[in-house]
Amino acid sequence: MIRIVFPTNQKMSYISPVESTFEDSEYLTVLNVRGQNITAVETIKNPHPHSKEEIIRECRENHFGILILPEGEDLPVNELKKGGVSLFTSNTSKTVLNTFSDFVQDKLKKVE
C-alpha cells in the first residue's frame, strides 16, 4: 500500500480541490492506494501549515510515500527524497480524484 498526499482546504474527501501550496493548506487529503485502486481516504488537519521543514517529519511519522506538489512549490525536495518520499507535480487546479487519475495515467511530472 502507498499513501499519496494532496494539500487541500476542504474536507470533501477525494472531491476536494488541490490547494496551491502545502503551506496554505488547512488539510492533507491522504489516499491509501493498492495498485491503481483507492482503498481508503483520510483527511487530516495540516499540523504545520506554515513550516516547510516539518513536512519531512510528517512524511516519516505518517508513512507518506508520495507527495503531489503544485507546480512551483518550494519544499525541501532532496531531504524528502532521502526519506523515501517520491514527489510529483501537478500544474492545474483539479480535485484530488482527478489529480490521482492523472497520476495513474502517468500525466504528472516526477521531481528528480
Q: What is the tens place of the pLDDT at every residue in 13-67?
A: 999 999 988 888 899 999 999 999 999 999 999 987 667 778 888 898 999 999 9
Judge contact between 5 and 56, C-beta under 8 A.
Answer: no
Non-local CB neighbours of 98 within 8 Å, separated by 6+ positions: none
Cell of 45: 488537519
- Closest C-alpha among 94, 90, 52, 96 to residue 74: 52
At 108 the pLDDT is: 94
Average pLDDT for 76-81: 88
Q: How much is the pTM?
A: 0.92
- Closest C-alpha among 4, 83, 71 to residue 36: 4
Alpha-carbon distances of 47 from 4, 24, 37, 57, 110, rounded to whole Å: 17, 12, 27, 11, 25
**How large a percentage of the chain has pLDDT more than 90?**
63
At 49 the pLDDT is: 65
Average pLDDT for 8-12: 94
Instruction: Give the tens place of pLDDT for each residue, 80-105.
Output: 999 899 999 987 789 999 999 999 99
Describe the strand order of the beta sheet including 2-8 as a list of residue ranges. Answer: 37-45, 27-34, 2-8, 66-70, 86-90, 109-110
Please report which residue ranges of the chain form alpha helices under DSSP H.
54-62, 77-82, 96-104
